[in-house]
Amino acid sequence: MKRALITGASGGIGRSLALKLMTEYELIIVARNENGLKTVQEDIEAAGGKVEIIMADLTLQKDRQRVYKNVPVGSVDLLINNAGVGGQSRFAKQDPDKVQKIIDLNISALTEICRHYTPAMKRSQAVINVASVVGFLPFPFISVYAATKAYVLSFSEALSEELKKEGVHVMALCPGATRTGFEAAADMQNSSVYSSKIPGPDEVADYAINALRRRKVVAIHGIQNNALVFLATRLLPRKIVRLVTHRIMSRSST
């Protein structure tokens, strides 16, 4: 049976992906939240799936090394880099340690994990890196988070070209706001972005799996998100884009 390694799988999109992929893959799920991991493990095993859990803070080199030790190079058919963290506030007021943690997890850990596993990946194997719709746009008040997702998007597109000859598919999954619990962890629960009806993680996970099967490289979830990206990247001047995103975010950030 094929094996999938999923980071950030104790909840949200990562959990939903694990539950939906358990009939196709033996799973290795990684997260900091031990209780959350064990709950997901129980749900998967109760449904007849096979899963191994690894509790790890991927911002720490020693924890990443423990993942590498337990999941050897060449043993992963599907790598899903879902772990991520954000934060909403004026950049000048943001805790420097939190800023660094966002960069360490969203960029450094994701990049290193890809570097560790992708050289040994072969035809029909794949990588999903979870980016975001905000990676296409400059977003005040979540400036660092949005910039890290812009990195994930660009990196994933470039990596998809490099690995195409080997038959390894790389996809950047770009959801919009999703009810995952991320909003509370990132201090964004009062944001206007989360004030409207938004999808849950199961919907995004279903879309991601279908997009991977269709071998999409950039997978933007939702009609409204696709329209937003099209307008912001193809039609509107960058000055207008900045004004619009500032207005959206400033409603709950000033």
**Where are the chain's structural domains?**
2-250
pLDDT of 252 reads: 52
pLDDT tens digits, residue range 27-66?
A: 999 999 999 999 999 999 999 999 999 999 999 999 999 9
Q: What is the pLDDT of residue 186?
A: 43
Predicted confidence at residue 74, as pLDDT, reads 97
Distance (Å, rounded) from C-alpha 156 to C-alpha 148?
12
* Residues marked as catalytic: 145
Average pLDDT in the 233-252 region? 84
pLDDT at 196: 62
How does pLDDT run across 105-131, given as a tens digit for each residue? Answer: 999 999 999 999 999 999 999 999 999
Is the model's pLDDT at 194 over the cut of 60? no
How far from 97 is each of 33, 55, 180, CA to CA, in Å?
A: 20, 22, 24
- Within 13 Å of residue 46, how many CA atoms lie on the same side as its CB? 7
Q: Read off the pLDDT band of 237 (50, 70, 90).
A: confident
pLDDT (mean) for 141-161 = 97
Domain range 2-250, CATH class: alpha beta
- pLDDT band with cut points at 50, 70 and 90 for residue 251: low
Range from 4-13, 178-187, 233-242 carrying the lowest mean pLDDT: 178-187
Query: What average pLDDT does this structure show over 9-17?
Result: 98
What pLDDT digit, counting tens, does each position of 69-112 carry?
999 999 999 999 999 999 898 989 999 999 999 999 999 999 99
Average pLDDT, the chain: 92
> How far apart are alpha carbons 212 and 220 in whole angstroms?
12
What mean pLDDT is predicted for residues 191-206?
78
Give the residue with greater pLDDT, 221 vs 87: 221
3-state SS string over the chain? CEEEEEECCCCHHHHHHHHHHCCCEEEEEEECCHHHHHHHHHHHHHCCCCEEEEECCCCCHHHHHHHHHHCCCCCCCEEEECCCCCCCCCHHHCCHHHHHHHHHHHHHHHHHHHHHHHHHCCCCCEEEEECCHHHHCCCCCCHHHHHHHHHHHHHHHHHHHHHCCCCCEEEEEECCCCCCCHHHHCCCCCCHHHCCCCCCHHHHHHHHHHHHHCCCCEEECCHHHHHHHHHHHHHCCHHHHHHHHHHHHHCCCC
